[in-house]
Chains A and B, each alone.
Chain A
Amino acid sequence: MKAQVNGTFRDLADGTSVAAVVSLVGAPSSGVAVALDGAVVPRALWEKTIVPDGGVVEVLTAVQGG
């Protein structure tokens, strides 16, 4: 199935979790948050939240700014 991860379409195995996507993009172990289809997925739910076909995942962290 396909999902959009940080703006890029990716082929993911069925049943891929949010946690798997987070490690796929090489996110650091802390200071990271995830939105799936425009809603925050709390860290505690990353393992059990499955990315649906056509899902839009954003993995964000803090950078210099403001």
Chain B
Amino acid sequence: MDDPLIIAGREFRSRLITGTGGAANLSVLERALVASGTELTTVAMRRVDAAGRTGVLELLRRLGIEVLPNTAGCRTSAEAVLTAQLAREALETNWVKLEVVFDEETLLPDPVELLDAAERLVADGFVVLPYTNDDPVLARKLEDVGCAAVMPLGSPIGTGLGIRNPHNIELITARAGVPVVLDAGIGTASDAALAMELGCSAVLLATAVTRAQDPERMGAAMRCAVEGGRLARLAGRIPRRFWAQASSPGL
């Protein structure tokens, strides 16, 4: 079935965006990425240091996976805009996963700074994919300033708590005119499937795969979950009923 994900005019066969954070080493990361079937993956921008924490770009190039730089670690709009501009310069892409978080304990997006940064980056020619709260109003405002997708959290980054407010996610997908990508909080395959059943166009996750006991197998599980959830959404689920309804003919 031909059902590509389309963001800003670019087509992807996979609806899973697998982040690179948290993998024990590049070899584990490579196997997990391949098993997940992802075509787009996030990287962070950090100072060049003596430890030479590089190699991830070469890996992604070899695997033919597109790079989506993030602005992780930024607390203000100004920091995020500069980080995005540096990423564009370093990686020759105008795509950015925009993250502007309020504090280290929750890593929740700061909505005021996020919206401001989104507006500035869109004006500067970026394809902006903002990591946002599961807030339908904020999602709408991000779309209105020109974001190419909106990426609401299921629960805080790295918690694996799944989708804490499925109704909010459904409110977002029901009204969005751009792809909705469930980003953050995925713990296991059923969370990813649920995101797709709620109408999300894709799922972005990292920790759930990279820190699983077997990252390669979990990558494969997430691929299947996203495909299954998408098929179920398109197929249309049965209405929930209070009383039983026999599926065999009466005697």
Q: Write the residues of chain A forming the contact surface with B, with a CB cutoff of 8 angstroms.
A: 6-7, 25-28, 30-35, 38-40, 42-43, 58-66
Contact: B91 with A6, CB < 8 Å?
A: no
**Cβ–Cβ contact A62 & B56, under 8 A:** yes
Q: Name the residue on A nearest B68 (C-beta).
A: A66
Q: How far does the alpha carbon of A33 sit from the alpha carbon of B85 in the complex, in Å? A: 9
Closest 9 CB pairs of A and B: A65-B44, A66-B42, A33-B90, A33-B89, A66-B70, A33-B86, A62-B43, A64-B20, A65-B21
Do B48 and A26 touch across chains, with their CB atoms under 8 A apart? yes
Distance from B95 Cβ to chain A, minimum over Cβ atoms (Å): 12
Q: For the complex formed, measure the closest distance between the CB of A15 and the CB atoms of chain B, giving whole angstroms.
A: 22
> What is the interface size of chain B, counting residues whose CB is below 8 A from a CB of the partner?
37
User: B72, A66: Cβ atoms under 8 Å?
Assistant: yes
Are B206 and A66 neighbours in the complex by a CB distance under 8 Å? yes
Residues of A within 8 A of B49 (CB): 6, 25
Given A40-B85, A42-B89: A64 and B48 interface contact (C-beta under 8 Å): no
With both chains docked as a complex, state the minimum distance between the C-beta of A34 and any C-beta of chain B, in angstroms. Answer: 8
Q: Is the CB of B90 within 8 A of A61?
A: yes
Distance between Cα atoms of A64 and B46 in the complex (Å): 9
Q: Quick check: B89 and A64 within 8 Å, CB to CB?
A: no
Decide: A25 and B48 in contact? CB cutoff 8 A. yes
Nearest CB in chain A: distance from B205 CB, A: 10
What is the CA–CA distance of A24 and B69 in the complex, to the nearest angstrom? Answer: 25
Question: Would you give the shortest CB distance from B117 to chain A, in whole angstroms?
Answer: 15
The residue of chain B having its C-beta at the shortest distance from the C-beta of A42 within the complex is B89
Cα A13 to Cα B69 in complex, Å, equals 34
Q: In this assembly, does B50 line the interface, its C-beta being within 8 Å of a C-beta of chain A?
A: yes
> What is the bound-complex CA distance between A42 and B92, given in angstroms?
11
A6:B56 contact, CB within 8 angstroms: no
**Residues of chain B with a CB closer than 8 A to A58's CB:** 47, 86
A43 contacts B19, CB within 8 Å? no
What residues of chain B lie closer than 8 Å to A60, measured between beta carbons?
45-48, 83, 86, 90
27 contacts between A and B (CB under 8 A): A6-B49, A27-B48, A28-B48, A31-B57, A33-B45, A34-B86, A35-B82, A42-B89, A43-B89, A58-B47, A59-B47, A59-B48, A60-B86, A61-B54, A62-B56, A62-B67, A62-B90, A62-B91, A63-B45, A63-B54, A64-B43, A65-B20, A66-B19, A66-B21, A66-B44, A66-B72, A66-B206
* Given A62-B46, A62-B69, 13 new contacts (CB under 8 A): A6-B47, A7-B47, A31-B57, A31-B90, A32-B48, A33-B87, A34-B86, A60-B45, A62-B90, A63-B43, A64-B22, A64-B23, A66-B97
